[in-house]
Amino acid sequence: MQEICDLMNFLMALNENQSTALRSQIKLTWFEEIFKKD
């Protein structure tokens, strides 16, 4: 779970600087990676 928390913090940091489209793409990639591990 710690890894997920770190990624959430990373995404929130991006939220301040990046476009909505880019953030959405990163989130999709991130969720795909999380589900692949399980």
- Write out pLDDT tens, residues 1-38: 788 888 888 877 776 666 676 777 878 888 888 888 76
In this prediction, residue 38 carries a pLDDT of 63
Residue 23's closest CA among 32, 10, 4, 5? 10
Task: Compute the distance between CA of residue 15 and CA of residue 1 in angstroms, rounded to an integer.
Answer: 21
Task: Compute the distance between CA of residue 16 and CA of residue 37 in angstroms, rounded to an integer.
Answer: 28
Q: Are 34 and 25 in contact (CB under 8 A)?
A: no
Range 29-35 contact pairs with CB under 8 angstroms and sequence separation of 24 or more: 34/4
